[in-house]
Amino acid sequence: MAEVVKMPKMSDTMTEGVMAKWHKKVGDKVKSGDVLAEVETDKATMDLESYWDGVMLFIGVEEGKAVPVDAVIAVIGKEGEDYKAALDAEGTAAPAKEETPAEKPAEEKEAPKAEAAGAALTDADLEKAGVTVVRMPLLSDTMTEGVIAEWHKKVGDKVKNDDILADVETDKATMEVMGYADGTLLHIGVEKGGAAKVNGIIAIVGPEGFDISGILNQGDAPAKPVADKTADAPVKETAAPAAEPQAAESAEPANADGSRLKASPLAKKIAKDKGIDLSQVSGSADGGRIIKKDIENFKPAPAKATEGSAAPAEKAAPVMAAYIGEEKYTEKPVSQMRKVIAKRLSESLFTAPHFYLTMSIDMDAAIAARAKMNDFSPVKLSFNDLVVKAVAVALKQHPNVNSSWRGDVIRYNEHVNIGVAIAVEDGLLVPVVRFADGKSLSRISAEVKDFAQRAKAKKLQPSDWEGSTFTVSNLGMFGIDEFTAIINTPDSCILAIGGISQVPVVKNGAVVPGNIMKVTLSCDHRTVDGATGAAFLQTFKALMEEPVRLLV
């Protein structure tokens, strides 16, 4: 009988896995224990082994694709065996055979006719008819809709290229929208004061008498978005100077007599890039409005010599060449690890009411003690090893901090498992030092180093990162003085460790050089109160300032 292979749940937080690589293909012999594939989970890339002997009959997921936990990914059985019954039992459709023209149902044959009968006007049809559909442009990166603040044309008015059709109020400013077409304004889709979604139809310009019902029946979605020049044009020309939209509005150019100077946004941009003073340009559009061709044809008048000028002319101010940059970006698919980090930390921050307690610790004694311990320790001890040990000892004295919120109950853990946050290329992993209160500093140091090596090689197993009761996150080695961390649920607290800074401190009434480390405890207020967290930090501080207490 054919056996169905499902996506296993490889960690407590895993909801789906990405098929990183198949080691078998359809038709290959499979033995129990063979590696079928590599699966990328939210924590690591792990091997998926077969528990059956047989032949690979079916593969349901391509490499690089994600599949939910418990979804069918393959079928193993005897050579030539019909595996469709096994897929049907799981509710998974077998790959359909390609239908020949003779096999296609009559309804499908008639589909092209029906489609042709009700076909919407395409961009090519509109362009041939001289019709331009004006859509709400994307005038800022955060804009989702625009409000028509004012219409400068009404239905039936003649429209010329570069005429302003309307003023649109966005989330950032009020900006002008043009038709970029010659013809008659046939339709206004949004009245003054009304809002339109980005890319929604706001007007139609074309030959007088043209029937626009076919365009309106299409709705707001363009027939061919890629070829929709009328939608793209306003976005491109109006939103191009996105770096300074508000500055352009506030610095409106004026004529010599103080009257408002009329110019299209594109003309303003080109004039700014070329360093042309718009007040010296004569406009050729209606009302003396300056358009693109006026800027391109502009020739500055030669400077007139001053009568009786004997003194040397003043040195002209240098003209800075305009720098035109290009906005570029690269998008990459979100990895499984990053998806889970985003999901779990968002849930933690927006579900658990966080509060933060910060304390400064004198590290002079810890620096001296670490140096002495490293003379005898089989492995080199780090300050983070001292922190993990001190946290573990302090938790035994403050069990309320070593707890977790479980909905109807609060769990008070009697064991101490410290999660140590480790940065890897794709994100963050938190392997767990179990029963850290009973382990020596050298044992803790060896385990953390081993975790770090295996985390970077993606060799950690689910048992390595499950079961923490408290978490430590240390950014001191990166030069960070202090920070706040998001609780690693279901833990109640996480301790953020900053770097050791040399600062002046007061000792015995005198200002002397000191070594200070700041730590911040993030607490879940559902389980830990301010006084409880403060008492824990006091114990932790005492242990770090007298590290000999960690050895007894």
- Residues annotated as catalytic are 525, 529
Q: Measured between alpha carbons, how far is residue 501 from residues 301, 370, 507 in Å?
A: 64, 17, 16
Q: How far apart are CA 194 and CA 373, in angstroms?
A: 74
- DSSP bridge pairs for 177: 166
Radius of gyration (C-alpha) of the chain in whole angstroms: 35
Q: How many CA atoms, within 13 angstroms, populate the side-chain half-sphere of residue 476? A: 20
* Contact by Cβ (8 Å): 380, 525: no
Q: Measured between alpha carbons, how far is residue 373 from residues 376, 386, 445, 515, 540 in Å?
A: 6, 11, 12, 19, 20
Tokens of 384: 């983070």
Q: What is the DSSP letter of 98?
A: P
Residue count of the chain: 552
Q: Sign (positive/negative) of CA torsion 47, 52, 55, 60?
A: negative
Alpha helices in 190-274 (DSSP H): 213-217, 229-239, 245-250, 265-274
| Helix 383-397 with 364-373: angle, nearest 10 deg | 110
DSSP string, 462-511: HHHHS--SEEEEE-GGGT---------TTBSEEEEEEEEEEEEEEETTEE
Q: What is the dihedral of CA 448, 462, 417, 549, to 10 degrees?
A: -10
Query: How wide is the angle at C-alpha 508 spanned by C-alphas 502 and 510, nearest 5°?
Result: 60
